[in-house]
Chain A
Amino acid sequence: QKEVEQNSGPLSVPEGAIASLNCTYSDRGSQSFFWYRQYSGKSPELIMSIYSNGDKEDGRFTAQLNKASQYVSLLIRDSQPSDSATYLCAVNIRGRRALTFGSGTRLQVQP
């Protein structure tokens, strides 16, 4: 099992729909979780962080964390073509100095 696992996609949604991106992790003791957006040819950009179970909202983005089930998700409401990118899930695995990243999910928002 990968330490941080994401479906590679592509996930295709129509403009205006809700995009749901999922991530599972293996270390039950992980405490910090992050979502990054990476446009093609560009570096990852931090979108959100979440540390507690439940939902955290920031504009059109909502991060959801369920530590018991070891998954974290990102919802993008009112998806726009400009949201088309690869979304990376990152987890702070216990004992590691740096974040561990999933391989990313490619999102395509169709106009």
Chain B
Amino acid sequence: SQTIHQWPATLVQPVGSPLSLECTVEGTSNPNLYWYRQAAGRGLQLLFYSVGIGQISSEVPQNLSASRPQDRQFILSSKKLLLSDSGFYLCAWSGVSNTDTQYFGPGTRLTVL
């Protein structure tokens, strides 16, 4: 069966510091991968999606970037965090045969102070 991991689970960072969040998927090949952000009491905002290694599409212009160095690894980064980057970051995957159905990882709660 497929599983998706995210780490760290929680993170507290000062404004202006860098960020690296990691997501890995097990049990599937060539997944589509997604990064979402959920601000407190808000809906899910799609940040990036990827259909393959090195293929990243950005949905929202901001100070975040994403990379996919391996088939089942997706990384979210920032060089300098802003207060507004605080939120719940969710990685999700969908399969090649059924690209509609998305499954979420446990998430990373980021607080920028």
Question: Contact residues of A with B, CB < 8 Å?
Answer: 32, 34, 36, 41-46, 49, 88, 90, 92, 97-99, 101-104
Contacts and interface: CB of A to CB of B under 8 A. Distances in A.
Interface residues of B, number: 22
A110 B104 CA distance: 28
A62 to B, nearest CB: 19
Given A32-B100, A97-B32, A98-B102, A42 B51 contact: no
Given A42-B107, A43-B107, A44-B90, A101 B101 contact: no
A101 B43 CA distance: 7
Would you call the interface of chain B mostly helix, strand, loop, or mixed?
A: strand
Contact of A92 (B42, B57, B100, B105): B100
A74 B90 CA distance: 24
B76 interface: no
Closest 3 A/B residue pairs (Cβ): A103-B43, A32-B100, A101-B44
A49 B42 CA distance: 22
A97 B51 contact: yes
Contacts of B99: 97
A98 B90 contact: no
A6 to B, nearest CB: 9
A48 to B, nearest CB: 11
B34 interface: yes
Contacts of A102: 43
B112 interface: no
Contacts of A90: 102
Contact of B100 (A36, A41, A99, A104): A99
Interface in B64-113: 88, 90, 99-107, 109
Nearest to A2: B43
A105 to B, nearest CB: 11
Contacts of B102: 34, 46, 90, 98-99
